[in-house]
Amino acid sequence: MKFSEYLTESKKEGANLHLEHLEDNILNRGVKGARESIDFLRSLRDMLAGHSQSKVNVTTKWDGAPAVICGINPENGKFFVGTKSVFNKDGKLNYTDDDIDKNHPGEGLNQKLKTALAFLPKLEIKGILQGDMLFSKGDIQSQSIDGESYITFQPNTIVYAVPTDSVMASKMSAAQMGIVFHTSYSGRTMDTLKASFNIDIGNLKQTKDVWFRDASFVDASGTATFTETETKMITGVLSQAGRIFQTINPLILNRISSSDVLNTQIKTFNNTKVRAGQKITNTQKHVTELIRWVEDRLNKEILAAKKEDTKKKRIAEKSELIRFYRSSASQLAAIFDLMNLIVDAKIMIVRKLESIKSSVNTFVNTEDGFKVTGPEGFVAVDRLSGGALKLIDRLEFSQQNFNAAKNWSK
């Protein structure tokens, strides 16, 4: 499996701008994606059943913000910091505070990047790394949660809490910033950079000003091991997924994956359920709602057309799309059944990984106080290619993330 092919929403092939959800691979890559998702989950199952030779490794997905890309520009040998916008056509690479003021005037992001530019050079990064910023000086608070004393910081949706009397808390409190690195890049020019999720930060120089680590998660083989019963359960789910996959018309799957319009409409509608925290249980009803939702959107676009030619064109496009949805209703229901099974197997894996005790506790801040939650999720990395897919409980974390107010600006 070439997991690097899953890195989408990027005009540059090697840029890690967005990791796809495992189940959406079915919509994104059609028949090939469905096979890959099932095979991928089998590899994870084997790893968690104690087979340490699995070709899949797992890292923790930290809920940091903003994303920071930093290192040496191979074209001029200068150190820079930036956001994912460094991969734009006219990449926003910041070598000085003046560059940051010009490229990122928003107050929150502006200060974060200036902190990164001031202190990350001390790590003596040789290439280019990408990480998620966890905190800068002033973000860390002292709080009591359930009678325990912690230092806490909230870069995005999740509140991270570290016991006050721990060595980690002391180092974090003394640091000017904290960051978790998860991706490295190699290439002779910024345009030809290739991403890898198998990174080595062992050669970075230690400094009290930057608390850093990689996203590595101990190999779960023999640590978060599935019991025999759990292994049978997930095997049963994957077998059922395989049977449903065999009933789906490959032409329908591939048409969805090859059509940006169909792909976007279906994923956008599915995300309305995620935002509402609703699991798709009745897939036939879901298809009916999808068709009605698409038709309503298309009708609004037709009404908004000011030119008669534009209106006629949109009416014709609507007719073709609705004809596809209605004629493929049963197949779409089967596709959603397959995606549900993929999600069920994924959640079994996520729950098992969450069962390992971490040195960093995770909470969400609710109106009723702090509520224990799992980490944002995990990233499964191919040991050979270095590519990755994310494993997230979307009804828990993604729903929180969709609706959370960010404390930093883009």
Residue 72 lies in a domain: yes
pTM: 0.70
What are the pLDDT digits (tens) for 167-210? 999 999 999 999 999 999 999 999 899 888 878 899 999 999 99
148-153 and 159-163 strand pairing? antiparallel
Q: Is residue 387 part of a domain?
A: no
74 vs 382: which has the higher pLDDT: 74
Q: Which amino acid is at 192?
A: T
pLDDT digits over 234-288, tens only?
999 999 999 999 999 999 999 999 999 999 999 999 999 988 888 999 999 999 9
Q: Is the domain of 189 the same as that of 51?
A: no
Q: For residue 224, what pLDDT band results from cuts at 50, 70 and 90? A: low
397 part of a folded domain = no
Tokens of 274: 């995620």
119 belongs to a structural domain = yes
Same domain, 276 and 335: yes
Domain that holds residue 9: 3-60+222-350
List all residues 6 or more positions away from 10 whose beta carbon is below 8 Å from its beta carbon: 16, 17, 18, 87
Q: Of 194, 214, 234, which residue constitutes the final position of a domain?
A: 214
Kindly compute the dihedral angle of the four CA atoms of residues 234, 266, 375, 111, in this order, to the nearest 10 degrees.
160
